Structure 1
Amino acid sequence: MAMLVLEGEVCLCALLFPFLCPSLVDAQQYFLPLKWPRECGPREFFSSTEFICRPCGAGQQRAANGLSCICKPGYRLFRDYGGANITCSACNTGEAVTQDGWDCIQCGAMNSSTKILSNGKCACHNANEILVERTQNGKLLNQAGCQLCDAMPMAYTWPNSERNLCAKCGSSFIISAKSCDCSDLTVADGLCFSSSASVDARIDFPLLSLPIAVTSSWFAEHLLGARLACQNFRNTTACQALGNMCVMAMGSLRATSGPCQILLHIGTSSTGSHTNNIPTWPVGLPWIYYNHPTLPGDTRPILEAMALPNTFSTWDTQKRRLHIVLAKYDIQGNFLGYGKADGGKLQLCSDTASRIDSAYIFGTTYRQMCSISISVLQSHFPEPTFFEPFLEFEQNGQLHLYALPVLNLNLHDSFGTFINQGSDRRRWVLMRRFLLVDAVGGLGVPSSHLLRFVSSLSIFVTLVPGETLGRIFPPLLSLRYSEIDLETAGSDSMVQVSFSVDYSMKQGENQRQTDIALAVLGSLAVLHALQKTVSWRRRQGLHLLDLPSVVNFLIFFAGLLANVFFLVAFGTGLYWLIFYKNQQQVTVLLPSEQEEMSFVIYVSCALGLKFLQILHLLIFQTSVDIFFLDWERPRDAAEILAETSQTSMSEGARAKSTISIWRTYFVANEWIELQTIRKLSPALHILLTIFFLQVIGFENLALREPTPSLLPPLDTDAACWSRILRFGVCTSVWIVLGFLQIGLHSLCYERFIEDKIRQFVDLCSMSNVSVLIFSHCNFGYYIHGRSVHGRGDASIDEMYTNLKKEEENRCSCRGLLPNADVQTFEVATSINMRRRFEAINQTPAVVVPARLNGQALGVVEQNIQSYHIMNRFLSAFIDHAYKDMDYIVRDKTTLEKVLDMEIQEPLDKSLFYNDPRHSFSRVLCYGHSSTLLLFEMLLFCVVDLASQDLVLAAVITYFMQAAFCSIWQSLGKRNLAKKTLVDKRFLI
């Protein structure tokens, strides 16, 4: 009973399942069992329509491919509709199946020459017989018989490969054996030769990486036959096949009986003439070597002796392309015809048609690199195709071809040396024929399998120098091969391949002019550095040569030499930018990437030397002696009583009579802010540079492509960058934007909005504070900030009243001299004044701790006392109170302004030079805006040349200048607190 209930539940579930889970039922219909054809049994075939194994019918067995059935031996076809839809019928005992498989036939009497093979078909015993089963009209004979072919003269017939027809035997059999039977002679590659023709032929396939070789199946099967047929009969196809095997062997001369040596031996033993009078091209043989491989000699007559008649232009669409033509051969030596190199014939990397064909636009340096799988190489090149390159040109209305040389970098000489990898052109062996991929020659015995491919193919084009027609020397194809063992590497392994086109011309004259410019400008830099050193020594008060003088000379020279390197590099970049991009007939070409390395060295040296100059400038500006001279004096009691309208002084009034220090602190903080201001905004300048280079497209002018365009041409988007052009474009944009920004800042911003340098001078006057700066021991700058109103600590009413007086010219001028407005001076101090200043300044300022204690109060009192002594001394000095330390005010002579050097030495009196140009900005970044601009430009360009990334260069340059600005302010603030005796806690 329980079993019946269970069976009922199962049946109910089975009935309800399609309705409860319809999606699972539908999905089940798409499930297929995985079955491989190799898993089918010997009497089964794999049905490609059902993806399952099906049994073969009666009297049938699986075909070799496993996808259909065939009749078993002893069975004939009765019906055949393809696949497994056949019907087989058994033959009677003693009968065999005919060759076509449709009938049964007796094989003749036992004493006849016929026999039944294991496959159930008749065959003849003798090799020179054919099997006859039907009459000429196709009627089946009662018995199969054997017919002897006539191999003797007048007939010369022999069974064909199917042994059902007597065919004419080859000429080699007729000539060598005088018969179709070559059993007593030598058979090679299907040809018959006399025994004396049997010579040694190496069947080794040389490796590229090791001085060893593997046995090549292709060479073993075809080399001897090709040699004998070429040597004995001058068979064109055999000779071409022999040349192909020489190319497969990389033109190697290491094996004495290799294909290349065999080809050379046949050529030298020939007594005939040479094709086109070329010594290395015997008549009837392929032209494999451009120059003689055993005595190569100098290749310059081949590469540089003759200028091709082609003229190239950047504007004419017909004359702006390299028309390279390829003669093609298959591996058997058959000529496949001519074809243009366009369309990627020489490029293994796949790409768009425009990118591929842009390789042959004249003057465009082209680079293409990719990773490609081994399976793709095998599928695209199952057998190698051999090429001979030509350059097409027109002369007198007739098209001609010029044979181009090929430099195989993997060619071995007889000693196993890669002679073509050296720079000595006298040892180069140039070839004519090459291949791209070889998947046949490396098939070895018993199991080696090497795949050889071109890993690098370069076309070098050299322009004829000193011409205006745009002619070239014969281009050179340079190839480097690599090989991979397919036994160890999978078919999905990736290999790197590259293709490039390089243009060059002799740059000796340009390099000589560059060297002359460096020598001349470098000599001027030495003289200028000596002049600056002399000026520095005079300002330092030195009379004897010492180590600091030598160090400063080297630093001055480093900065000037950086300018020299920059000027030469900038001139070079600008020259190529103008003349290379503005030519119709191509007469000049850019230096090669190797020749550009000297240019990169110049720019890098300029950056390194300029960096030393910036470090020196940083140390110089953050270590100057500076003091804020306060002219403010305490008010007397009468002034205080008059202002307060009181009859006696209270405690508050007495406190009012003290001098406020806040004016000095305010001027000191303004000086700190002034230290890093410049005539341009670095961030804005960098943004504008990136905008013009990348957004507007000036960067595209740096392409190695002779047509000037801000937009990259669609057919040259694979062109690479030129470092020289890139530097020329970047520096031109940088300099133009820099000087434009500096000019707008000087002419517009400072004149109509604000001039921070003049504002600082005005602030000093309103604060009644002067500034004395010593950049050198005996030289510095003075800002006269003494108020014409006698007081700077004034109320708001007094301030406005004083300003109104100045506007109405009801007060004296602000200058140091009466009726003079000049407030800034260059100061050359006497020895006495400097000694007195240093004596007072010997007590260094001590940093006051944040919380005062007894010891800290003593430090504060010491600093205050030193401040008051220095303030009184400098006030008295300016007021001519010291007769032995007096000074005179004068203008600098024109020569002194040009040389930036004081000719007159201040022996007894100090010299104050009127300086309306505010030269004190030299101790600020403001006075060195051009130097900083040049350093940032060099940094930007060097980073860009190294990375080819403008954005990265911009980011690094911005953060570098920001870091320098932060360091500048920090060190400047520290020096200001130390030298001015102003408490650092009040410096913001």
Structure 2
Amino acid sequence: MRFDPFIKYFLYVLVLIEYSSQQITSISLNTTELNSLNCSSNEIFDFTKLECKKCPNNSFPLDKFNCKCNETFYFTINNGGNSIRCTPCKTGQIQTLDGFSCIEPPTSSCSSNIGIITDTDQYGSKLSKRQCIVCDDKFSKPLNGACKSCKPFVISENDNQTIETSTCNLNPSGGFLFFDNSVTIPFNNINSYFENSGASWLFNEFSLSAFRTCRIPNRRNMTSCQFLANLNVLKLYTRQPLMEQYDSLFNPEEPNSLPWLKYQEDLSSYYNLYSQNGIDSEFLKIKFKNKCQNTDLELISAEYDLWGTFKNFESFDIQKLNLCYLNSNSFDQDIISSPFTTSKILSKCSVDVQRLFELSDSKNTIFYDLYLKFGNGTKLLPIPVKIYETGKNKDDNLFRRFFLLETTSSKNSADTKSTHIRFAKSVKITIELIPGKSNGEIYPPLIEIEYDTARREDKKIVYLNFEIEYKINVSNFRKVFFILFGTLSGLAFLYSCLSIWNWNRRSGRFMIDIITIFKFLMFLISSVGNSIMIALACISIYWFIVYRNQMNVILFLPDKLQEKIYGTFLIIAFCLKLVDVIYLILVQTSFDIFFIDWEKPKNDEKSLELKKRLPPIDKNNQTSLIMEQIKEQNKISCWRTLFVANEWNELQTFRKINTTIHLILVLFLLKVINLEAYTRQECQPDRNDITSDTPYSFILRLGISFLVFTGVEFFQLFVYTVMYSRCIEDKIGQFVDFCSISNISMLIMTHTQYGYYIHGRSPHGQSDTSMYQMTQSLIREEIDMSAKRGLESNSNHQTFSIKVPNKFIKEYSKKRSVNRAVRRDHITSSNEFEKRMLAYTKLNNFLISFLNNSIRGINYSVHERNICENLFNIEFKQPIKNGYFYKDEIDCFTDVIYFGKEKTLFLFDLVIFLFVDYLSESYILAALIVYITSKILKIFRSDLGRRNLSKKTLVDKRFLI
């Protein structure tokens, strides 16, 4: 920008022609009633009060902002606006051109080509009356209605001094001369702000003249004061002589006569003052008329050019603070233009330094004073600004006025180009909820600006940031979270104590040992992991629902640092659930399993006849006895056992839900329906906008993930329970039926004295029959012409949880020990294998005898659990002498396979999904990792389960498909 030298002579002389505006008040939280700028024809807009006012008596509006005395009156006080006092002239006199004295009216006219009508001569001396002065081309010339002296003007700051008593031995500044006895400002340290840039033409030429013309009593030049304020802003409010001299101009009797630049309070004091009393006991709130349409709060800006001239007073578009959009030559109309919507904005861009110079050189430097309009549009509150420089320490000082970029202060002369540029590298608007308030009261907005500098010869890229941040004190939420987590953890501890007590009773242990402590830790790990997940679900779902549905804003989103605590707990939950699932798989693949075959050997007529002819077996011959028993056992087909074993092997990894379908539905909702859009930090996100770069909120992603993932889980459980298992296929029920058809029962010992029993004894006596006989048997059962399938007569109940006495365990363990010994020896001889077969037969016969209650001293009875036992999965009776069979009404025996541990597996899938999304912010990647993990665990569980099934039974794993 090129500055005509004429500015030096014209800028400050015409005191009344320029208009100005003032700050609302020097008191931080005082407000002003706001009236329209459209004042009537006999009013001016007074920026000291931001309202329309009439001019005093004997004056009239000179323009929209200043009053002027009538023709026959002169100014005794003129501080701009309507702050004037008019005194009548003597009879026959009129006002001088400057308005501060009276003079005789002109008696003749003159041609504007050679002279002008004025009340001073061509050297600036006052005349006795207005005359036609012919300008002397040597010393002056006509310009804009006056003779412009070729020498500097002489200005008196004291009415007692006159031009006639002055000499030319004066102090020049900005085209003006001041008397020797006037106070001066030392020029060291104020000429240039930039390092190695030389003397600043702007500060060197105009700082002293601005200070002098601003300080003249009763005729303060308000434009000079505004310009002087702008010079201090260019110095970034550093405590140097210029700023100190500016503060000395403040007059307590005229608090609005000087632009307000700095708050007396720092940020913390300002917030404390506001939080105690508000604004006249009223607090700011963000309210929405419709969704995200703020009805009350609005930013208003007063704008000034570099020279202090007021330019505008209007609604402020926050895009003006974003140099990224200024660089694009057009503002993005889609971006929200108000910060009072709870929509977080984070804009980043890179700009070439030369482009910034082009922008600054082509545009006037604008200075802004921001206000907040509230109270139904009737009140204004000044907005504080924090200013700091890149690489320098920050402080909490608050200021009023700011700029975005400028180069003028680094010019060495009016005609040279600037050497440096200063620009707003980072601009952040912060809106914070007041802690302890429950109705969404907020602090006044705070603007933080970080300035950086660059040289014109630099060939580099600079990075610009613009951000709207909403802050909330999360101490109460954190307290609630820890209270909730602490309560749940206390319950988890009690539940773990109950679980280890129950485990000890089922295991026949009455002493605390290392194994007991280890089991307790495993119970505690599982329970605490569940507690963390519940606490995270509660806090995140609450945040999601309230934030997305608030009309009167009471909740903002936490920032990254505040969210870190929840992310930490999520990581802990992931580790705990990982240990929990691995331990679950290891436990499930270590249970004792035995198939009880009720089938009896067939004795057809030929076999009986042959047996009668053979000599009797010598019972003292052990070999002969073993061979005879094995021959009897071998008459029973093994295919039924193989089929049941294979069915059980398939059931081991069967779940109530389909993981693949589950993840597809989750991704469909989050990505295709784009519910993920609701996790962006926007007040009103658009699901159809897939290009939005608004950052996501972790707490919102956590909340919607819990809702969607859990919702799909419940949907699949509902479909399976109500529809699939009833109308299509009930694999658990089918397995129990298959056991009955196969005439094979199943005993699963999960603890030393506790386990599960599936009664599979066929009501027809035999299952190794022809198709015709099997069909006939099923028909008889259907028309109730056969016995019941249940363990008890006249009962169809086939599944039980059992507690057996020590006598049973000793006998059971004794007979199982032979199998274990043979397995360790890897069956090196046929005789050893035959011994194992014999042990199996003996154990089978023992269990059949026990189930028939035909073993003396080892009996059992059938019971039903009471409500408390069902609720906590415990048994109060101890099997001291007799065993107890509890009817399993809810298929508790499925706890030994995936099917009964759906809750644990679901929580593990969920915590993996949340954990991966926390690290990557990608639902697709999270779903992929869940799928891969579930497949790996399924393979791992299936392989270990097949090995255990083969090891605990006679079924070779090669037959387990």
TM-score of Structure 1 vs Structure 2, range by shorter chain: 0.7 to 0.9
User: CA distance change for structure 1 residues 398 and 658 in 2, over 3 Å: closer, same or farther?
Assistant: closer
What pairs with 1:544-943 in structure 2 (closer than 5 Å)?
544-638=511-605, 658-706=635-683, 711=687, 719-842=694-817, 855=828, 864=837, 866-943=839-916
Return 373-382 or 764-773, whichever deviates more: 373-382
Q: Is the 8 A contact 2:301 2:316 kept in 1?
A: yes
Which secondary structure state, in structure 2, belongs to the residue aligned with residue 729 of structure 1? helix
Query: Alpha carbons of 1:871 and 1:853: their partners in 2 closer, same or farther (altered >3 Å)?
Result: closer
Q: Which has the higher contact order (CA 8 A, sep 6+)?
A: 2
Specify the alignment match of 1:475 in structure 2. Answer: 445
Give the 3 Å change call, closer, same or farther, for CA 450–928 of structure 1 in structure 2: farther
How many residue pairs get aligned? The number is: 797
Note closer, same or farther for the CA distance 1:364–1:970 as it changes in structure 2 (3 Å cut). Answer: same
1:303–1:474: 8 Å Cα contact kept in structure 2?
no
Contact 1:442–1:448 (CA under 8 A) maintained in structure 2: yes
Q: Which runs of 5+ in 2 are unaligned?
A: 1-110, 115-120, 128-132, 216-220, 615-630
Are 1:390 and 2:367 counterparts?
A: no
Q: 1:641 to 1:384 in 2, by over 3 A?
A: farther
Larger deviation, residues 510-519 vs 819-828 = 510-519
1:219 corresponds, among 164, 183, 200, to 200
- 2:463 equivalent among 496, 507, 512: 496
SS at match of 2:236: coil
CA distance in 1, matches of 2:187, 2:530: 70
Looking at structure 1, the residues matched to 508 and 141 of structure 2 have their Cα atoms a distance apart, in angstroms, of 112
Give the letter aligned to residue 695 of structure 1: V
Q: Residue 201 of structure 1 aligns with which residue?
A: 188
1:166–1:442 CA distance, 2 compared to 1 (3 A)? closer
Residues 780/170 of structure 1: CA separation in 2 closer, same or farther (3 Å cut): farther
Match of 1:435 among 385, 394, 403: 403
Partners of 1:846 and 1:223 lie apart in 2 by: 104
Q: What CA distance in whole angstroms lies between the structure 2 residues aligned with 1:400 and 1:158?
A: 55
2: CA distance between counterparts of 1:245 and 1:866? 103
In structure 2, what is the equivalent of residue 37 of structure 1? none
Name the amino acid aligned to 1:342: D
CA distance in 2, matches of 1:401, 1:452: 30
Establish whether residue 173 from structure 1 lines up as the match of residue 154 from structure 2.
yes
Mapping for residues 241-640 of structure 1, pairs under 5 Å = 241-253=227-239, 258=240, 261-268=241-248, 270-273=250-253, 275=255, 283-284=257-258, 286-291=259-264, 299-301=271-273, 305-307=277-279, 312-316=286-290, 319-320=294-295, 322-342=297-317, 344-350=319-325, 353-360=332-339, 362-382=341-361, 385-393=365-373, 395=375, 399-410=378-389, 418-420=393-395, 428-441=396-409, 450-463=420-433, 472-484=442-454, 487=457, 489-490=458-459, 493-638=460-605
Question: 195-204 or 787-796, which moves further after superposition?
Answer: 195-204
**C-alpha distance in 2, partners of 1:205/1:623?**
83
Asked if 2 retains the 8 angstrom alpha-carbon contact of 1:636 and 1:657, the reply is no
Q: Partners of 2:925 and 2:916 in 1: how far apart?
A: 8
* Paired residue type of 2:648: W
Distance 1:157 1:827 in 2: 125
Q: Which residue of 2 aligns with 1:35?
A: none
Q: Is the 8 A contact 1:150 1:157 kept in 2?
A: no
Task: Quote the Cα distance in structure 1 between the aligned partners of 2:896 and 2:604.
Answer: 42
| Distance in 2 of aligned mates of 1:366 and 1:356 | 9
Deviation, 1:755, is 0.7
- Fraction of identical pairs, as percent: 29
How far apart in 2 are the matches of 1:695 and 1:224? 65
TM-score, with structure 2 as normaliser: 0.74
Structure 2 vs 1, CA of residues 642 and 185 (structure 1 numbering), >3 Å: closer, same or farther?
farther
Q: CA deviation at 1:925?
A: 1.0
The one-letter code matched in structure 1 to 2:505 is R
d(CA) in 2 for partners of 1:298, 1:401: 17
TM-score (norm 1): 0.72
CA shift in 2, pair 1:537/1:724, >3 Å: same
Residue identity in the other structure for 1:388: Y
Q: Distance in 1 between matches of 2:208 and 2:333?
A: 44
User: Equivalents in 1 of 2:153, 2:813: separation in Å?
Assistant: 112
> Partners of 1:379 and 1:243 in 2: how far apart?
26
Amino acid at match of 2:401: R
When residues 150 and 454 of structure 1 are mapped into structure 2, their CA distance, relative to the original with a 3 A threshold, is closer
> How far off its partner does 1:759 sit?
0.8
Deviations 1:415-474 (A, max 9, x none): xx7242xxxxxxx10111222234455679999955443332221123457879765431
3-state SS of 1:380 partner: helix
442-451 or 329-338: bigger deviation: 442-451
Aligned residue number for residue 126 of structure 1? none
2-side partners of 1:845 and 1:193: how far apart? Answer: 114
Shift of 1:181: 11
Looking at structure 2, the residues matched to 747 and 758 of structure 1 have their Cα atoms a distance apart, in angstroms, of: 14
Stretch moving more, 727-736 or 529-538: 727-736
* CA shift digits 1:508-551 (9 cap, x unpaired): 44444333323322222221121111111111221111222222
Q: CA deviation at 1:673?
A: 0.9
Contact 2:192–2:198 (CA<8 Å) still a contact in 1? no
* Closer, same or farther: CA 345–419 of 1 in aligned 2, 3 Å: closer
Is there any run of 5+ residues in structure 1 with no aligned partner, and where? 1-134, 139-147, 207-212, 277-282, 421-427, 648-653
Task: Assess if the C-alpha contact under 8 Å between 1:149 and 1:159 holds in 2.
Answer: no
Aligned to 2:43: none
Contact 2:174 2:208 in 1 (8 A): no
> SS where residue 519 of structure 2 aligns?
helix
Q: In structure 2, the residue corresponding to 1:772 is in which secondary structure?
A: strand
Q: Which residue of 1 aligns with 2:937?
A: 964
What is the distance in 2 between the residues matched to 1:205 and 1:319? 44
Q: Could you tell me whether the CA contact under 8 Å between 2:318 and 2:338 is conserved in 1?
A: no
The letter for the 2-side match of 1:219 is: S
- Picking from 952, 958, 961, the partner of 1:985 is 958
- How far the C-alpha of 1:675 sits from its partner, in A, is 1.0
Indicate the SS of the match to 2:336.
helix
Structure 2 counterpart SS, 1:664? helix
Tell me the distance in 1 between the aligned counterparts of 2:202 and 2:512: 87
* Contact 2:237/2:243 (<8 A) preserved: no
Query: What is the DSSP-based 3-state SS (H/G/I as helix, E as strand, rest coil) of the residue aligned with 1:620?
Result: helix
Deviation of 1:672 after TM superposition, in Å, equals: 1.5
How far apart in 1 are the matches of 2:632 and 2:810?
A: 37
Note if contact 1:158-1:166 (Cα within 8 Å) is conserved in structure 2: no
Residue pair 1:462, 1:505 contacting (<8 A) in 2 also: yes
Instruction: Report the Cα distance in structure 1 between the residues aligned to 2:577 and 2:388, rounded to whole angstroms.
Output: 43
Residues 348 and 610 (structure 1), Cα distance of their counterparts in 2 relative to 1, 3 Å cut: same
- What's the C-alpha RMSD, in Å, of the aligned pairs? 4.2
CA distance in 1, matches of 2:957, 2:687: 56
Look up the match of 1:61: none
Whether the 8 Å CA contact 1:462–1:503 is kept in 2: the answer is yes
